[in-house]
A and B are shown apart, each in its own frame.
Chain A
């Protein structure tokens, strides 16, 4: 059963949303912070921890300052979209579900060559790794497919299955577009048709200039230190809130600071002020925060903690 071809970038996103909603995922909204990839959304990082089942899908705007090319490169952007699906425990038919999503956006399985090619995933900043594949469609990588083994230094039990679609690249392929800026964002037949470039070309230029040359590195360095300190301070608080008398571990606010530190590190990297040796140490500092946040999250109810078990 092959679907009709989508006409625009947004139609592809909408079809993915509809598809995964129909498969039982909670369709979440993007996280309201700057992140380098959809994995950083707490709906993936934190929710892949602990024993409670989870199924979520969402679009996540992602920023990679070093990838900025002033909107000139047909495939590279410093701001782009990922589509992320996380299901815990990983269902036995996750590969079939995934292939169904490709059909949903108009890829005809009878005409294309889909392959699962070994690609193990590791995020040194999140202290996370998993095994899986990059999925190829006619030789092009269209998704990452990963079974999480460890996140924030914790073994994943049960294991989550994670799917990440690079939306621009996938959409360009489905729509037959050669330069990302030429891709129709909405339906080209509408009274006000907008292309990807109408929306993002100027911002790519603006951010590339800021990322590479203007961002105040002293301020960024200070922000990094502050985020790091704040993250630790938050996690150092007593589990029981003195005001309400309730057990409230602030894993998410602390994790926000970890996300912040990670993004600031990326900006500093783009500004070229981090040497090779320092690089490792910055990554290590962010990883330490991610681990502390993971430690805290598994002490919360969403992370599988129960008063009963804790009392036993």
Chain B
């Protein structure tokens, strides 16, 4: 059983692509081998900046011979049919057998495919893998048509067993396979040949190349933490950076250096970001958590133990940090004197060509944050001010240089300006939550600004009809919707989203139609905003508003306003879809959510979720599960009767027409349930309401057991149908059980 070793040796592969590429090589080659019949025991893939390597062990020496038997036409079939059969099988008439069967003499072809030597298969599979390799970005070079991530220099491809190693002969665009590779570019230049994986890995290490990226990462981390530990310091963990750095070196040598004293006053995040982004340095902190050193990872050893390299790196870092310090000091000066310079300059920054500038956006967000403040328990003035300042740092020099520090720098600068800590915190927190695992802010001012920011984004893109489609969501609107959901639910906020969505839609309409409307019309739109605040939802507000302005006409505003309710409904249903995904991850079935979505007040997400959770729990009980059956039976009988009779049975069930105990018991049970459910729903105590509903299960089951609905006596029948209707009404008052799948 031979082993296979492949190495594709090229110019430097981008660090971020290496590990994926090694896995792709493994998959492409091993899939191809298996498909051709070459099974194997194990395979491993490795990468360094200059090579992708695949080792396959215990592979078959040749693919197995296969035998296929095909049944053909009868021996006396027309000539054409026989010819076709022979052609398909690739055989001549004397190579096929005639066999007696119950249907007469039939032709049989036995096609034998001899196994092929592993080398032939490997050569084909590898060439195909190289030519179809899924690099995220690839290139041509010189006069070749082959594409690779960077110029491909050599292909090592050998099969080895007890008898020794043989090169698998192949060639791709003038690059012929061989048994040689190269070590470290500087520390061990020159080619050498290898006889198998162990020999390869050993010789590479002797030539200053650690083949396994994990081993390089471990070495880096081990050496870096040791350097830091020796000084009583600690390396700041950063797995992404560690993987990247491991992809930049073949022979890692960690070196620890000093950060100039001038720069130690910079915020630690600035130091860390600057060192990481520009220089790929690890940050090293002291016991107080301040960043005081760095670790850089060189790709070689030197006679001076890295002194020259470290000095060079230190110098570059000083130049970088001098820039950062310059930005920091300039920014602080602005922050301490007048931050409105920054907010003002956002007037010239386009947020989106239809949705206007960042400054206009901030105005809208500030207004909405004010509206939201009482609901989330924040001071309105503070919420508005926080919203106005939250994005001011986008004009700062530091954020221009390091966009990933947005928000955080805002916090530092607002703190420096002497404003309230809650306002400063909102600047940092209002972007959150960014992902499903990101923390949700819980300070009231931060919540107000974070919600306002996201609702403004959602309503804005809905207003200009730029909704996510399929996999395309360029403005991250799904993330924004999930953000709203998590902010509301995780803070247990009770708020009617419709009201705030509608309000913000009108604000967008104001912005979008700024040029098209005159001042009087704009003032009316502003009036409408107030109406929404009073009425809660757009429809009612719009009616009052029209009443108010009947005399001087609102016709000109109709086209502007016309679409708001539909757009707002559409946005709410989008948010409900996101909510379903969110709740599904928490184990709540989609039909349970649908049953609750159909109930009034579904724009209050906390209410909706409480209802859904209570229903979900109820359905898990035996009573709950059986109640659904009873409900369904009642509903079906009722619906059929209503269709047949052409009337609606909804009122007037009277115990005096009850003929059986079970019937009377159901009347009593429904009275009890109604009395318990109404106040529980009022108090939004869904577990109690659902419990009372589930208690109906016994009486309902007993009723169906004992009573025939369609009695001959029409009065009795009508009374029973009206009784079923009470079951339906009681249950539907809790949740739309018709949506529950059973």
Contacts and interface: CB of A to CB of B under 8 A. Distances in A.
Contacts of B15: 117-118
Contacts of B319: 74-75
A140 B350 CA distance: 35
A220 to B, nearest CB: 20
Interface stretch (B82-90, B105-113, B135-143): B135-143
A118 B309 contact: no
A116 B316 contact: no
B657 interface: no
Given A75-B319, A95-B11, A139 B279 contact: yes
Interface string A132-170: 110001111000000101000000111101000000000
B163 to A, nearest CB: 34
Interface in A156-196: 156-159, 161, 173
B186 interface: yes
A173 B143 contact: no
B317 A139 contact: yes
B666 to A, nearest CB: 71
A110 B138 CA distance: 32
A222 interface: no
A158 B142 contact: yes
B298 interface: yes
Interface stretch (A22-30, A37-45, A85-93, A258-266): A85-93
Contacts of B150: 131-132, 147
Given A138-B312, A140-B312, A113 B298 contact: yes
* Interface footprint category on A: 35 or more
Contacts of A275: 348
A164 B303 CA distance: 30
Nearest to A108: B308
Contact of A90 (B142, B249, B298, B350): B142
A209 interface: no
Contact of A114 (B16, B141, B186): B186
Nearest to B14: A118
B303 A133 contact: no
Contact of B16 (A115, A118, A161): A118
Contacts of B303: 110-111
Contact of A115 (B11, B299, B316): B299
A109 interface: yes
Contacts of A149: 139-140
B350 A277 contact: yes
A131 B143 contact: no
Contacts of B507: none
Nearest to B189: A96
Given A116-B11, A118-B15, A158-B142, A131 B137 contact: yes
Interface of B: 11-12, 14-16, 49, 137-143, 149-151, 153, 186, 248-249, 279, 296, 298-300, 302-304, 308-309, 311-313, 315-317, 319, 348-350, 353
Interface of A: 74-75, 89-92, 95, 109-118, 120, 130-133, 137-140, 147, 149, 156-159, 161, 173, 275-277
18 contacts: A89-B141, A90-B151, A95-B11, A111-B303, A111-B304, A111-B308, A112-B308, A112-B309, A112-B312, A113-B299, A115-B248, A115-B299, A117-B15, A131-B138, A140-B313, A147-B139, A147-B150, A149-B140
Ordered nearest first, which 10 A-B pairs have the shortest CB separation? A138-B312, A118-B14, A158-B143, A116-B12, A139-B313, A89-B142, A113-B298, A131-B139, A140-B316, A113-B309
